[in-house]
Structure 1
Amino acid sequence: MNTFIELVGVNQELLVFLAIDITIAIILLGAMRFLSGLSAQVNSTEELAKQDNFAFGISVAGSILALGIVLTGAITGEAASSYMMEVVGMLAYGGYGLLLIKVGRVIHDKVALQRLNKTALIKEKNLTIGIIDAAGAIATAIVIRAVLLWVDGLDLSTFIAITSGFFVAQAVLVIVTRIRENQYAKNNQEDCLQEALSKGQLALAIRYSGQVISTALAVTAASHFLIYSPDTLVMNLIGWLVFGVIMTLLVALLTALAKRIVLWGINLVEEVDQQHNIGVASIEMATSIGIALILTALMA
């Protein structure tokens, strides 16, 4: 065993650090399920196993995946100076990431989709709302991860930078939601997107999820252009906002072009908005996220 460890270049100290990180990660992931139940004011076991509430399950799954994404930002990087510092850093970043996921959900509920009572609709087993709730959590996590990787150190300035970057990104996500609402109303005789989602139109939820997640990926591209410094935090945040908006517009333009090619000959408004074609909506979502991933990879 020692020979194998030497061959792969892993020492025992590094293995201890890895054990610390994965243990804390599993504990936090387990806690997310019960915290989701508390925030929804339900018994998670009852809701999942006895009520068979698939919408709640999807929402919880999104939260757990979101926390996993955030934790990759907390884990990635050099090991701390001691085991205790590794524990403190992992708990601090992981716990704060968990908190920001919840804050992001509140912003998504109260500002972006303010006409929906997502908690009540998920209790009513509305799969559409469960999907967009999960997508919102994942989008928030993508942004938090990018900011965690961008900052350096573990002090007050770090957490101020994380919080500020988080709110800048949330502002972009809200703006994109408003634009998509206006676009939906224009294409559907001034109908309300949020009302359509509340009625359980799955195709719209799938498309919207792709738009939100691709926007989050676009916003994270700013981290590749800006160097973190506590002394230039305001300028960096302005840079995040500017790059985020530019990248979001670029992703939207390229996605629109890609959809015309991938879905050539298909009327997207008719198929998704009016006929609720889940298959076409899924292709739209995949195209949106795919274009965003390609662009962010090119910018890295």
Structure 2
Amino acid sequence: MNELITTLQQSGSLVGYLAIDMVVAILLLGGIRYTMGLIGKIDTADELAKKDNFAYGMSMAGSVAAMGIALSGAITGELAGSYLVELYGMLSYGFAALILIKAGSYIHDKFALPAFNKRDLIVNRNFAVGIVDAASVIATAIVVRAAIIWVDGISVKTFIALAAAWIVSQVMLVIITRVFEWKYSKNNGISFQTALTNEHTALAIRYSGYLVSTAMSVTAASYFIEFDMDSLWIGLAQWVVISIILMVALTILTTVAKHLVLWGINRREEVEDQQNIGIAIIELSTSVSIALLLMALMS
């Protein structure tokens, strides 16, 4: 505590930057609920407090977490140079993150999982779809955070680069969804999206692990690319190539890790046939753990 007081005394401006960052962050986090209600044309108080809709609660929790993750990439503190620059940066990147996260949710609904109406299923308490919705926005936010850190400065060109990096992430997430869906359909004879509609919670948890770990591997790929606006498209092409390589590496490593962690257990049967949520959670944690190790190795 004494060290903290000494630090604050030595750098009084730190408190000002902290106040700016926290006020903007809390306002944007609070705005998530009202944004969701406005876009979805839903009475959020009714869903959360009167109907006790846990599926909607999970969906909103994912959006709040996603906003926090993305905003953490916008905080620069004293490096901003002035309070005004820090405020401008937090607001600019904060609203950009909000737009990209919501746009990512739309892309996921329309291109990754187009076979059902997400809003209607969540309102009808489909917890599996609520989990997937939360995971998809968190995955998008992870890459948005990486892109905010990757770009330099605040200008129109910066936000073009940010949007381009977001497009890369959405392509990767749609690809991993198609692969996941193909594998599930091959083994079970019904589509993955049908299983989600039928409230297959264990499968939703497993898929969430794939989404989040894929986003983390895309983030790890950004460590290899230096931001240069003059060669943006070359940098993004390199990001795509490295992302694919890391996604393949992630798939191989997580397969081996899951096999060892769950030795002697038929994972396909437990998760897909018996809807074993415990096994699915172990798979999710294993996927995220390997992705974290990859990120640490590449940074």
TM-score bracket, normalised by the shorter chain, equals over 0.9
How many Å separate the matches in 1 of 2:7 and 2:187?
61
Distance 1:263 1:4, change over 3 A: closer
Matches within 5 A, 1:274-285: 274-285=273-284
How many Å separate the matches in 2 of 1:139 and 1:77?
25
Is 2:226 aligned against 1:231? no
More displaced stretch, 2-11 vs 27-36: 2-11
Normalized against structure 1, the TM-score is what?
0.96
How many residues were matched structurally? 299
8 A contact 2:8–2:15 mirrored in 1: no
Deviations 1:180-199 (A, max 9, x none): 000001111x3100000111
Alignment correspondent of 1:185: 185
Structure 1 residue runs of 4 or more that deviate by more than 4 Å after TM superposition: 1-4, 7-10
How many Å separate the matches in 2 of 1:229 and 1:114?
36
Matches within 5 A, 1:124-135: 124-135=124-135
SS of corresponding position for 2:199 = coil
Matches within 5 A, 1:194-213: 194-213=193-212
Alignment correspondent of 1:253: 252
Matches within 5 A, 1:262-281: 262-281=261-280
Deviations 1:234-287 (A, max 9, x none): 101001100111111100110001111111111111111111010111111111
- State the superposition RMSD in angstroms: 1.5
Per-residue deviation, 1:9: 6.9
Question: Quick one: percent identity of the two aligned structures?
Answer: 51
8 A contact 1:226–1:239 mirrored in 2: yes
How many Å separate the matches in 2 of 1:4 and 1:139?
34
8 A contact 1:76–1:149 mirrored in 2: no
Alignment correspondent of 1:118: 118
How many Å separate the matches in 2 of 1:7 and 1:158?
33
Alignment correspondent of 1:99: 99
In structure 1, stretches of 5+ residues that fail to align are: none
Alignment correspondent of 1:37: 37
Matches within 5 A, 1:81-92: 81-92=81-92
Per-residue deviation, 1:26: 0.3
Alignment correspondent of 1:47: 47
In structure 2, stretches of 5+ residues that fail to align are: none
SS of corresponding position for 1:74 = coil
How many Å separate the matches in 1 of 2:287 and 2:166?
22
How many Å separate the matches in 2 of 1:260 and 1:22?
43
Distance 1:153 1:78, change over 3 A: farther
Per-residue deviation, 1:94: 0.5
Amino acid at match of 2:143: V
Per-residue deviation, 1:86: 1.4
Amino acid at match of 1:272: V
How many Å separate the matches in 2 of 1:167 and 1:105?
12
Alignment correspondent of 1:21: 21
Per-residue deviation, 1:76: 4.0
How many Å separate the matches in 2 of 1:11 and 1:221?
33
How many Å separate the matches in 1 of 2:229 and 2:270?
49
8 A contact 1:17–1:79 mirrored in 2: no
Distance 1:131 1:3, change over 3 A: closer
Per-residue deviation, 1:79: 3.1
8 A contact 2:47–2:56 mirrored in 1: yes
SS of corresponding position for 1:257 = helix
Per-residue deviation, 1:15: 1.1
How many Å separate the matches in 2 of 1:157 and 1:179?
34
Amino acid at match of 1:53: N
How many Å separate the matches in 1 of 2:192 and 2:76?
38
